[in-house]
């Protein structure tokens, strides 16, 4: 079966968050299971692309209203990713360093989707199924089924995976002239709240919808940034499939980004070595429990509460702990987090920015990982933390609810709280400090969590079964 994943991000080519990790690893595991899987994504002017060689496999011209763009599809020459990678190059639109946040993102991603479909039309063997990820690729199911130009693709099944329904990519109907010709009676499929809404269009037009955890699917029916009703309506074709992780990239035994490799039998010395390295770099005291936060500093992650949570904890004379933050996002939160550094020198530090290597080192060297998320469709951080023997402290929501059991429950190994509030998050950290004092229990739990299997080895099969239900019915 030829499956094509279409996405704006894919690790290690271009990463903003977990979407990249999923699209960069799931196809590798699907190929291992014997299914021919490839990825197509935009070609950004970034380090990965500058350091790698591509071959042109398709060239075309894409019309966006009155403007025409030269576009090409490139195939990565190396096979190092474990699946074929294709990138869509559109000078004038996609040839920028960053993935998102340009004023013409609508035009950029629409042109990307049109070029991808144009290429499919010219392929000798058409994809048997296309798998779209998030709103940046959400117009593909509509165009495949309704645009005259792509009529030959209308029988090809499409799957949409919702990684984050908060972002929907809405734009005005004034931009309708960017679309390939279709029967205007179908415009309702594009529309939500009087705008063209790519995520809503994909929910309506994709043959199947998945969310990245079972709990997130249920939660979306109650709160989906305006799409609740639509998601409830489409529940018949929806399912929640929990993400897996790439256990080859995220393996404490072989990870080249950490200071000392370890496995469950050498966990004590391994964690100690990584913690010492980290504490030395950030002027923290390795004798104290180390709590870390890694992530985008946005409202969904509860970021604006972090400064108050940390200040409350660091001021508490009964607690003796270290906190280290790695993240970027809201500039006000970044500033507030940095301001605390001078006040709590020796117990608190931050790295405001993005640093893949440091994130690995933090999963390896920390004792606890904080995730007080308001919304967490799946969350990969907690799964990486588990694999590196770091106990997760999470708000029970979405994928966090599906992957972390509280220490007070049977088989528990993490610390859970119900709401994203300063009071609940600080209380959770206090419980963690209590556990840390009982070193025998703490060490037993951290050894146990390294064995939890969140690999794609099992999760990838769930997608294959879903694909087969569509291709067999076809």
382 counts as binding ligand GLC under rule CB under 6 A: no
* Shortest distance, position 11 Cβ to ligand GLC, whole Å: 11
* Shortest distance, position 416 Cβ to ligand GLC, whole Å: 16
Q: Which of 365, 379, 389, 398 binds ligand ADP (CB under 6 A)?
A: 379
Restricting to residues 9-48, name those near ligand ADP by CB under 6 A: 17-19, 21
Q: Which helix (H) or strand (E) holds 239?
A: strand 238-240
DSSP secondary structure letter of residue 126: -
Could you report how far apart the first and last alpha carbons of the chain are, in Å?
A: 13
**129 vs 303 by CB, closer to ligand ADP:** 303
Residue 173 falls in which region: left (phi positive, over 0), alpha (psi -120 to 50) or beta: alpha
Please say whether the beta carbons of 128 and 3 come within 8 A: yes
42 binds, among ligand GLC, ligand ADP, none (CB under 5 to 8 A by kind): none
**89 vs 163 by CB, closer to ligand GLC:** 163
Q: Which of 355, 447, 448, 470 binds ligand ADP (CB under 6 A)?
A: 355
Q: Which helix (H) or strand (E) holds 218?
A: helix 214-220
**367 vs 376 by CB, closer to ligand GLC:** 376
* Shortest distance, position 350 Cβ to ligand ADP, whole Å: 10
206 counts as binding ligand GLC under rule CB under 6 A: no
DSSP secondary structure letter of residue 181: P
- Cα 413 from Cα 405, distance rounded (Å): 6
Q: Which of 294, 369, 386, 416 binds ligand ADP (CB under 6 A)?
A: 294
Which token pair is 88? 């869509």
- Cα 311 from Cα 303, distance rounded (Å): 14
* Shortest distance, position 279 Cβ to ligand GLC, whole Å: 28
**19 vs 93 by CB, closer to ligand ADP:** 19
Please say whether the beta carbons of 5 and 131 come within 8 A: yes
CA angle, residues 297, 344, 338, in degrees to nearest 5: 30
Closest Cα to residue 246, out of 85, 456, 13, 5?
A: 456
CB-nearest residue to ligand GLC? 18
98 counts as binding ligand ADP under rule CB under 6 A: no
**157 vs 327 by CB, closer to ligand ADP:** 327
84 binds, among ligand GLC, ligand ADP, none (CB under 5 to 8 A by kind): none
Which token pair is 344? 């709590």
- Cα 442 from Cα 438, distance rounded (Å): 6
Q: Which of 243, 347, 426, 455 binds ligand GLC (CB under 6 A)?
A: 243
**242 vs 433 by CB, closer to ligand GLC:** 242
Q: Can you tell me which residue has the tokens 């010395």?
A: 269
377 counts as binding ligand GLC under rule CB under 6 A: yes
| Interacting residues with ligand ADP (CB under 6 A) | 17-19, 21, 294-296, 326-328, 354-356, 359, 378-381
């Amino acid at each position: 079966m030829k499956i094509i994943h279409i996405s704006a991000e894919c690790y290690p080519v271009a990463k903003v968050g977990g979407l990249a990790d999923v699209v960069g690893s799931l196809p590798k595991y699907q190929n291992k299971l014997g299914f021919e899987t490839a990825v197509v994504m935009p070609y950004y002017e970034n380090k990965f692309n500058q350091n790698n060689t591509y071959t042109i496999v398709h060239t075309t011209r894409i019309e966006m209203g009155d403007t025409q763009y030269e576009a090409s599809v490139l195939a990565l020459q190396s096979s190092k990713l474990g699946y074929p990678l294709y990138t869509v190059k559109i000078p004038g639109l996609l040839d920028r360093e960053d993935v998102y946040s340009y004023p013409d993102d609508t035009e950029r991603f629409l042109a990307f989707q049109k070029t991808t479909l144009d290429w499919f039309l010219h392929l000798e063997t058409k994809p048997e199924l296309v798998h779209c990820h998030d709103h940046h690729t959400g117009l593909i199911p509509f165009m495949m089924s309704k645009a005259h130009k792509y009529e030959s693709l209308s029988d090809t099944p499409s799957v949409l995976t919702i990684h984050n329904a908060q972002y929907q990519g809405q734009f005005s109907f004034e931009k309708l002239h960017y679309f390939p010709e279709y029967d205007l009676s179908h415009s309702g499929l594009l529309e939500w709240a009087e705008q063209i809404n790519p995520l809503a269009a994909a929910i309506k037009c994709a043959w199947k919808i998945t969310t990245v955890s079972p709990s997130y699917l249920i939660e979306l029916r109650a709160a989906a940034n305006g799409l609740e009703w639509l998601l409830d309506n489409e529940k018949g074709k929806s399912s929640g499939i929990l993400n897996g992780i790439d256990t080859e990239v995220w393996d404490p035994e072989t990870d080249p980004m950490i200071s000392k490799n370890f496995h469950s039998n050498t966990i004590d010395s391994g964690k100690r070595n990584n913690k010492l390295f980290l504490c030395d770099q950030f002027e923290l005291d390795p004798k104290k429990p180390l709590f870390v936060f890694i992530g985008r500093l946005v409202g969904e992650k509860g970021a604006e509460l972090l400064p108050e949570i940390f200040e409350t904890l660091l001021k508490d004379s009964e607690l003796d702990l270290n906190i280290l933050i790695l993240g970027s996002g809201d500039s006000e939160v970044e500033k507030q987090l940095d301001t605390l550094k001078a006040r709590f020198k020796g117990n608190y530090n931050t790295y405001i920015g993005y640093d893949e290597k440091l994130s690995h080192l933090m999963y390896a060297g920390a004792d606890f990982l904080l995730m007080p998320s308001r919304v967490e469709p799946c969350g990969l951080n907690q799964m990486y933390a588990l694999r590196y023997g770091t106990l997760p402290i999470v708000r029970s929501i979405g994928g966090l609810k599906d992957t972390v059991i509280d220490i007070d429950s049977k088989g528990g190994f993490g610390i859970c709280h119900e709401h994203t509030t300063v009071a609940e998050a600080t209380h959770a950290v206090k419980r963690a400090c209590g556990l840390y004092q009982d070193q025998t229990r703490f060490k037993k739990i951290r050894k146990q969590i390294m064995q939890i299997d969140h690999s794609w080895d099992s999760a990838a099969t769930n997608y294959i079964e879903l694909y087969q239900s569509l291709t067999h019915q076809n």
